[in-house]
Amino acid sequence: MNSLITRLSLALLLIMIVVGGAFYALEQWGAQRYHEEVTQRLNADIAMYVTGQTTLMHDGAVNREELERLAERAMVINPSVEVYLLGRDGAILGHALPPETILRQSVELGPVTELIAGDAKLPLYGTDPRNPQREKVFSAAPVMDEDTLQGYLYVVLGGSKYDMLAGAVRDSYVRNISVLAIAALVIGGGLAGHIVFTLLTRRLTRLTRDVEAFSNVALDPDADPEALLGFDTRSGDGKGDEISTLSDAFAAMASKIREQFLALQENDRLRRELISNVSHDLRTPLASMHGYVDTLLLKNRELDADQREQYLEITRKHTQRLGELIGDLFELSKLDSGSMPLALETFSLAELLNDVVQEFALEARRRDIDLRLAGEPDRALVHADIGLVQRVLENLIRNALEYTPAGGSITLDVSAQQQDVAVTVADTGCGIPDDEIENIFERYFRSSHGRSSRGQSSGLGLAIVKRILDLHGSRITVASRVNEGTRFEFNLPSAAAA
Q: In Å, what is the CA distance from 116 to each residue of 33, 109, 140, 143, 286?
A: 21, 10, 7, 12, 122
H helix and E strand count, the chain: 12, 14
- Say whether both 305 and 443 belong to one domain: no
Is the four-CA dihedral 162, 164, 169, 175 of positive or negative sign? positive
Q: What is the pLDDT of residues 45-66, one digit of tens each?
A: 777 777 776 777 777 777 777 7
Model pTM above 0.75:
no
The whole-number average pLDDT for the span 392-407 is 91
Rounded distance between C-alpha atoms, residue 478 and residue 48, angstroms:
118
d(CA 471, CA 475): 10
Paired with 261 in beta bridges are none
295 within domain boundaries: yes
Q: Determine the average pLDDT of the residues in 334-346.
A: 75
DSSP letter, residue 39: H
List the one residue out of 234, 243, 191, 246 whose CA is nearest residue 5.
Answer: 191
> pLDDT of 139-164, one tens digit each?
888 888 777 888 888 888 876 566 66
Task: Examine residue 27 and state whether it is found in any structural domain, yes or no.
Answer: no
Do 322 and 347 share a structural domain? Answer: no
Report the pLDDT value the prediction gives residue 378, as an integer from 0 to 100: 67
**Same-domain check for residues 143 and 264:** no
Q: At what angle do helices 175-217 and 242-298 cross, to 10 degrees?
A: 20
30 — pLDDT class (breaks 50, 70, 90):
confident
Is the pLDDT confidence value at 236 over 50? no
Q: Which residues contact 52 (CB under 8 A, 6 or more apart)?
A: none
In this structure, the strands spanning 370-375 and 409-416 are parallel
When comparing pLDDT for 64 and 168, which is higher? 64
- Gap between the Cα atoms of 491 and 384, Å rounded: 11
Closest residue by Cα to residue 440 from 400, 497, 385 = 400
Task: Looking at the structure, tell me whether residues 65 and 89 fall in a common domain.
Answer: yes
Last residue of a domain, one of 335, 366, 396: 335
Q: Which whole number is the average pLDDT over 389-415?
A: 91
Q: Are residues 67 and 151 in the same domain?
A: yes
Looking at the DSSP assignment, which residues form a beta bridge with residue 492?
A: 421
SS3 12: helix
Inform me whether the pLDDT recorded for 192 exceeds 50.
yes
Q: What is the CATH number of the domain that holds 308?
A: 1.10.287.130
Statement to judge: residues 260 and 390 lie in one domain: no
The stretch 258-264 carries a mean pLDDT of 79
Tell me if 177 is assigned to some domain: no
pLDDT bucket at 235, cuts 50 / 70 / 90: very low
Which whole-number Å values give the CA distances from 285 to 10, 261, 273, 319, in the listed order?
77, 36, 19, 7
Whichever domain contains 115, its CATH number is: 3.30.450.20
Could you give the CA distance from residue 296 to residue 294 in angstroms, rounded to a whole number?
5
Task: Provide the residue range defining the domain that includes 281.
Answer: 243-335
Q: Quick one: what percent of the chain has pLDDT higher than 90?
A: 11
State which of 158, 187, 216 marks the end of a domain.
158
Closest CA to 238 of 207, 198, 203, 195: 203
Structural domain includes residue 186: no
pLDDT tens-digit map of 101-143: 888 889 899 898 888 888 788 888 898 888 888 888 888 888 8
Cβ atoms of residues 437 and 480 within 8 Å? yes
User: Which carries the bigger pLDDT value, residue 115 or residue 12?
Assistant: 115
Q: In this structure, what are the phi and psi dihedrals at residue 100, rounded to the nearest 5 degrees?
A: -70, -15
CA–CA gap between residue 29 and residue 288 (Å, rounded)? 106
- The answer as to whether 220 is a domain residue is no
Helix or strand (DSSP H, E) at 493: strand 485-493
* pLDDT value of position 209: 79
pLDDT for residue 262 is more than 70:
yes
> CA-based angle 420:422:425, to the nearest 5?
155
pLDDT band for position 320 (cuts 50, 70, 90):
confident
| Residue 184: inside a domain | no
State how far the Cα of 255 lies from the Cα of 228, in Å rounded to an integer. 9
Beta-carbon neighbour count of residue 462 at 10 Å? 22
- Same structural domain, 407 and 481: yes
Same structural domain, 388 and 462: yes
Is 428 within 8 Å of 369 (Cβ atoms)?
A: no
Same-domain check for residues 154 and 75: yes
Could you tell me if residue 13 is inside a domain? no
State residue 118 phi and psi, 5-degree precision. 90, 5
- Quick one: pLDDT at residue 170? 56
pLDDT at residue number 497: 67
Q: Mark whether 458 and 353 lie in a shared domain.
A: yes
CATH number of the domain that residue 367 is part of = 3.30.565.10
Cα 248 from chain centroid (whole Å): 11
* Residue ranges of E strands in 119-212: 125-127, 135-145, 148-157
Task: Tell me which of 301, 335, 369 is where a domain ends.
Answer: 335
Same domain for 331 and 349? no
**pLDDT-above-70 percentage for the chain:** 80
Confidence at 458, pLDDT banded by 50, 70, 90: low
DSSP for residue 397:
H
Assess if residue 168 is contained within a domain.
no
- Same domain for 295 and 374, yes or no, is no
Q: Are 462 and 399 in contact (CB under 8 A)?
A: yes
**Ranges 139-153, 174-188, 469-483, most confident:** 469-483
Domain count, the chain: 3
